């Protein structure tokens, strides 16, 4: 166990070693147990967290804010449009100033080509930990909750378990690619054989793909890519199917929507789930486009763990905050 993570940033999924991630998970389960028993765990009493949002949120804001309160501290919700950022507050100024006001800075910024750079510039000037609540490249706290949920459902020995990370159609908007990228980076480290499925226009960043292959090689896990959703689902233990935009093909919303609409048949329905193992779990970070991205039958069915997954956001994030902000 690597127990001293004090002061560490969590911006990318590989910022922490596998052993350090194991420590986070162990602490998350301990905090989850304490929450269930009503035991006090105010490890961050008198501590404060700045939550700076450039993009809307439901679960991320709720889980960070509630988690910080349960740890005995306070989270300040700051919506970027209510600040002076557009009038001249630079990234380094935000890091310097908020690093003096708060004990941690959490940021959600998913604008393509901007968000990750913003987080890193804030971190370079901050004297306190900077936590990534999602950028355009990574969504590390979501991924921690995901592996926590998988282990709860499938056990700690995940060797030779097959996980499908699949694109799925959504009609709402061109969603970030950060969730699938975080998944393919983190899940092979736990021995999962990852199959990435998507239409040709929905590729992920080449450097992330290379890092994912390297993580799989180190762990002795499988990693493959296919453009056949049904073939990917066959004999899967874990199905994680969600939409993301064709952002490496185009950043134009109209063009991207036209590409996306060609693949409306990429929906997670019961027929496809039946291709997976009978005890396969269905995962989604939410919100999902019901009966477009996934059928209600699957999302509300016995194989779905989406609400356990959402709950674990809070426990995993509490562990990160308790370890880095103490």
Task: Show the domains of the chain with their CATH numbers.
Answer: 13-139+313-324 (3.40.50.1370), 142-309 (3.40.50.1370)
Q: What is the pLDDT of residue 169?
A: 97
What's the order of all strands across the beta sheet hosting 48-53?
A: 74-79, 48-53, 104-109, 130-135
User: In terms of Cα–Cα distance, which of 302, 293, 28 is closest to 141?
Assistant: 28
pLDDT in tens, 186-199: 999 999 999 999 99
Q: What is the pLDDT of residue 171?
A: 86
The Cα 326–Cα 303 span in angstroms is: 38
Q: What is the pLDDT of residue 24?
A: 98
Q: What pLDDT band is residue 2 in, cutting at 50, 70 and 90?
A: confident
pLDDT in tens, 98-138: 999 999 999 999 999 999 999 999 999 999 999 999 999 99
Residue 18 has pLDDT above 80, yes or no: yes
Query: 159 Cβ partners below 8 Å, 6+ apart?
Result: 191, 220, 221
Residues of the chain above pLDDT 90, percent: 94
Q: What pLDDT band is residue 310 in, cutting at 50, 70 and 90?
A: very high
Q: What is the mean pLDDT of the chain?
A: 97
């Amino acid at each position: 166990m690597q127990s001293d993570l004090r002061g560490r940033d969590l911006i990318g999924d590989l910022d922490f070693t596998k052993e350090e991630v194991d420590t986070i998970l162990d602490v998350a389960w301990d905090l989850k147990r304490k929450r269930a028993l009503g035991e006090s765990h105010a490890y961050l009493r008198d501590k404060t967290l700045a939550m700076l949002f450039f993009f809307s949120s439901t679960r991320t804001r709720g889980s960070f804010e509630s988690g910080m309160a349960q740890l005995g501290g306070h989270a300040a919700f700051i919506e970027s449009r209510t600040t002076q950022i557009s009038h001249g507050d630079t990234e380094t100024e935000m890091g310097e100033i908020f690093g003096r006001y708060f004990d941690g800075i959490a940021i959600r910024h998913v604008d393509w080509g901007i968000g990750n750079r913003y987080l890193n510039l804030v971190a370079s000037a901050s004297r306190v930990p900077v936590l990534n609540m999602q950028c355009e490249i990574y969504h590390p706290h979501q991924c921690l909750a995901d592996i926590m949920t998988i282990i709860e459902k499938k056990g700690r020995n995940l060797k030779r378990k097959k996980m499908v990370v699949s694109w799925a159609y959504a009609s709402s908007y061109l969603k970030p690619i950060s969730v699938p990228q975080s998944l393919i980076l983190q899940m092979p480290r736990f021995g999962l054989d990852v199959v990435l499925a998507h239409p040709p226009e929905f590729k992920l960043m080449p450097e992330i793909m290379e890092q994912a292959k390297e993580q799989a090689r180190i762990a002795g896990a499988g990693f493959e890519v296919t453009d056949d959703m049904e073939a990917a689902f066959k004999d899967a233990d874990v199905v994680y199917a969600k939409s993301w935009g064709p952002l490496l093909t185009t950043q134009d919303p109209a063009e991207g929507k036209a590409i996306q609409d060609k693949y409306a048949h990429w929906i997670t329905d019961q027929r496809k789930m039946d291709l997976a193992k009978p005890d396969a779990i269905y995962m989604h970070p939410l919100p999902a486009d019901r009966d477009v991205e996934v059928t209600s039958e699957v999302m509300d069915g016995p194989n779905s763990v989406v609400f356990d997954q959402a709950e674990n956001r809070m426990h995993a994030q509490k562990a990160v905050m308790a370890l880095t902000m103490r």
